[in-house]
Structure 1
Amino acid sequence: MNSPSSKLPDNFPFKLSPGLKEYLFNRFEKTFKKPFFTEESACEFWHDHSKNNDGNTIFDILKKCYPQLNFPIETGIEKSELYKDFVLRGKKNFTNLKACTELNDSKSIKFEVSKNLAGKIPLLTISNEEDFVRLIQSLLYKNNPVEIPHSMGAVLINGINNWERINILKNRWLAKNPLGNWNQEFSNVILNKSLYKDKLIILSTKPYSNVPANQLGLNDDIWISHSISIRKEHEFTHLYTLKRYGLASNNLHDELIADYIGIIKTIGYFDKGWMLNFLGLEEYPKYRRGARLENYIKENRLSQEDFKQLITIIKNAIEAIAIFDKKMGKLISAKDQRCRIEALCETGLTILASQNGSSVLLDNYYESFNIHESVDLEFPN
């Protein structure tokens, strides 16, 4: 595609530090794109288990699949032998556990196997905010009480051991090989992660990016409905880039792409004011501390000058996306959506933030459109 984003455009207004240049490097650009997506084998498991639940709540089923949910949220608990036995070695008897992850409203957890542009994926919707935090702490942070930002409302988990799936594999294998050595066979199973690792999306139902309804001039009910939709489409977009490029990063480039799709899929057009609010830039050049933008730079040691340059780059990139969206009009098909995602992926932030960012983005869209037209790519129907 046009204008490689690893090289700064001639009219780029900043001289970037090495740290900021590294952060802004577009990893999508040189990545091999997979021509087709395979269906997640976990979806068949979840179709069966969510229907044949024997009166159990979805949380009861989750605790069997992910044993860490049987442990309390406690600093360093993952170092205990008991935790290792259950979570890493898959022991099934939970009667020895004195405490578990307690939820305020486990019965209200909603579960579905959701179909989207990238295929199907198990999706949990958690209405209680404290329960959402506990599930994230357990499944992502090994039951440690890591602080979860209020502006974080969803997560795509890419690969978590499902011990119920492993036990099904074990029982089927032993039925066919009653004298066989399962431990030896398991060393072969481990090599095929699709057999036992789940992809999973977890959503909260709180206001998107922790932005209150009145800040956007909406009533609470409408905004919560919009928030859930944006959040879901946002995570589906991460899933698409993960399957297409092998990438779904905790980076502002990925977030702009996912937010853009979330907004246009929800209200039919891009509202740049919403995206500025989501990232804390509604009063640009002033930044609202505690906003979602800072969630994506915590691991990077950026100076104050770097940060100042970064928010200008993000603001300019959002302006370019707004111009692009106005030219494109309403989303009309799955192909249109794919091409918009891929054009945004392959147009880096430094290009987007340049004077001709929207033009390059549009060129890359048409190039992607022609590729999809000339090559019989396989995608889920």
Structure 2
Amino acid sequence: MNNTLTLERIDQVVSIDLSYELKAYLFNRFSLNDDYEVSSIVEDEGIQFWKETLFNFSGRKDIFGLLKECYSPLNSLIEKESDKVERYIDIILKGNTNDIKLKHYLKLEDSKNIRFEVHESIAGKIPVLIIPHKEDFAKIVQCLVYKNNPVTIPSSMGAVLLNGLNNSKRLNMIKKNWLQNNPSGDWNKEFLDNVMPNKSLYKDKMIILSTKPYSNVLGRQLGITENLWNSYSVSIRLEHEFTHLYMLKKYGQDANNLHGELIADYIGIIKTTWNYNKMWMLTFMGLENYPHYREGARLENYIKDSKLSSDDFRQLIKIVKNAIENIAIFDKCIGKLRSTKDQMCRIDALCEIGLIDLASANGADLLIEIYYENFHRELF
């Protein structure tokens, strides 16, 4: 362990007398995926489809028309319990669109400025849908994540990583090719036996990204210009989602809770500005005036389905605050990001430690120790 740097530590006493509900919420869900291989981090099936499709796409009027061909939910209105109504079933589940009138299609405010690109990340290539209009972002998330139901999308939510999104165009291409080679064959049997079990043939991973200020925080709250903050916001958001993709591939899940968010935000910040700014992180979570919590901040997005009491919440914000402080100590100790291996070892260490240990008085020391163990293990 690197002991050359002495840093002043804050009082980091976290009560070990946590409720069952809070302990369950804080349970470390990251465990190494048994099927993980270095090769699996390179490229998913379907990336070739998107590279070829986008290469041949030039000259078409806008990307949204192509997306509607691939993702059926974009061909239906956002309606209450829309996944249960007859029209949704016809369009999404049966693929029947011949009798659907134009008024039933989703309309966006600014479809012409949507961008769809294949990006290289720490976890390999992935398609990224970039949506400048904030209302359009909410609509597309409602369609693709919430089955066209009018779920409220928090203002502090600006991106989502989708894992397992049905691509109708890919599936239709598989069907067409199979029927050409097997004109007398039973496609339904082929689909059930050989296609449906192999979800990578027709399901996509994708990042949906907005361009609004990160965590619904304005530049003036951080002491920087809005133009600079808008640029930083897109970069932080993209690197944040790349980190979730890495965690998904290596650990079998991206742990969409505060543990995973602190990790992804840490990487997003240092990849954007090369220095971890704990005040930014505290502000993202509504803790810039700790112990006061700012209502409506992003922290709420990750506990809405939990059964935490008000006492649990008070304990939780203390844990989050202390974890952020210890991440700052860790970052200062090991220095600026040097390589992809360095980045992976930082993520791995943060995944392995767990929030309760990370928030403890010796959390920074534990994190540094795990990091160096992982880093040196990778050398041999």
Could you state the TM-score of these two structures normalised by the residue count of structure 1? 0.93
Q: Cα gap change, 1:171/1:92 in structure 2, threshold over 3 Å: closer, same or farther? A: farther
Q: Quick one: distance in 2 between partners of 1:137 and 1:211?
A: 22
Q: 1:27 aligns with which of 29, 52, 64?
A: 29
Say whether the 8 Å CA contact 1:239–1:248 is kept in structure 2.
yes
Q: 2:376 aligns with which of 366, 370, 376?
A: 370
Say whether the 8 Å CA contact 1:33–1:245 is kept in structure 2.
no
Which amino acid in 2 is paired with 1:14?
I
Q: 1:240 aligns with which of 215, 235, 246?
A: 246
Q: Quick one: distance in 1 between partners of 2:22 and 2:112?
A: 45
Say whether the 8 Å CA contact 1:70–1:97 is kept in structure 2.
no
Q: Quick one: distance in 2 between partners of 1:88 and 1:265?
A: 41
Equivalence map 1:225-304=2 (5 Å): 225-304=231-310
Q: Quick one: distance in 2 between partners of 1:192 and 1:138?
A: 24
Q: Corresponding residue for 1:359? A: 365
Q: Quick one: distance in 1 between partners of 2:313 and 2:349?
A: 26
CA offset at residue 283 of structure 1? 0.2
Q: 1:78 aligns with which of 69, 76, 83?
A: 83
Partner secondary structure for residue 50 of structure 2: helix
Q: Corresponding residue for 1:166? A: 171
Partner secondary structure for residue 104 of structure 2: coil
Q: Corresponding residue for 2:5? A: none
Say whether the 8 Å CA contact 2:31–2:251 is kept in structure 1.
no
Which amino acid in 2 is paired with 1:91?
N
Which amino acid in 2 is paired with 1:26?
N
CA offset at residue 69 of structure 1? 0.5
Q: Corresponding residue for 2:68? A: 63
Q: Cα gap change, 1:47/1:92 in structure 2, threshold over 3 Å: closer, same or farther? A: farther
Partner secondary structure for residue 233 of structure 2: helix
Q: Corresponding residue for 1:41? A: 45
CA offset at residue 370 of structure 1? 2.3
Gaps of 5+ in 2: 1-12
Q: Corresponding residue for 1:178? A: 183
Could you state the TM-score of these two structures normalised by the residue count of structure 2? 0.93
Equivalence map 1:7-18=2 (5 Å): 12-18=14-20
Using the TM superposition, name which of 158-167 and 51-60 deviates more. Answer: 51-60
Q: Corresponding residue for 1:155? A: 160
Say whether the 8 Å CA contact 1:20–1:302 is kept in structure 2.
yes
Q: How many residues align?
A: 364
Q: Cα gap change, 1:333/1:30 in structure 2, threshold over 3 Å: closer, same or farther? A: closer
Partner secondary structure for residue 38 of structure 2: coil
| % same residue | 57
Partner secondary structure for residue 23 of structure 2: helix
Q: Quick one: distance in 2 between partners of 1:319 and 1:175?
A: 61
Q: Corresponding residue for 2:214? A: 208
CA offset at residue 50 of structure 1? 1.6
Q: Quick one: distance in 1 between partners of 2:102 and 2:177?
A: 28
Q: Corresponding residue for 2:140? A: 135
Partner secondary structure for residue 346 of structure 1: helix
CA offset at residue 108 of structure 1? 0.3
Q: Corresponding residue for 1:310? A: 316
**Over aligned residue pairs, what C-alpha RMSD do you find?**
1.4
Which amino acid in 2 is paired with 1:166?
L
Q: Quick one: distance in 2 between partners of 1:346 and 1:180?
A: 50
Gaps of 5+ in 1: 1-10, 375-381
Using the TM superposition, name which of 192-201 and 75-84 deviates more. Answer: 75-84
Is 2:77 the counterpart of 1:108?
no
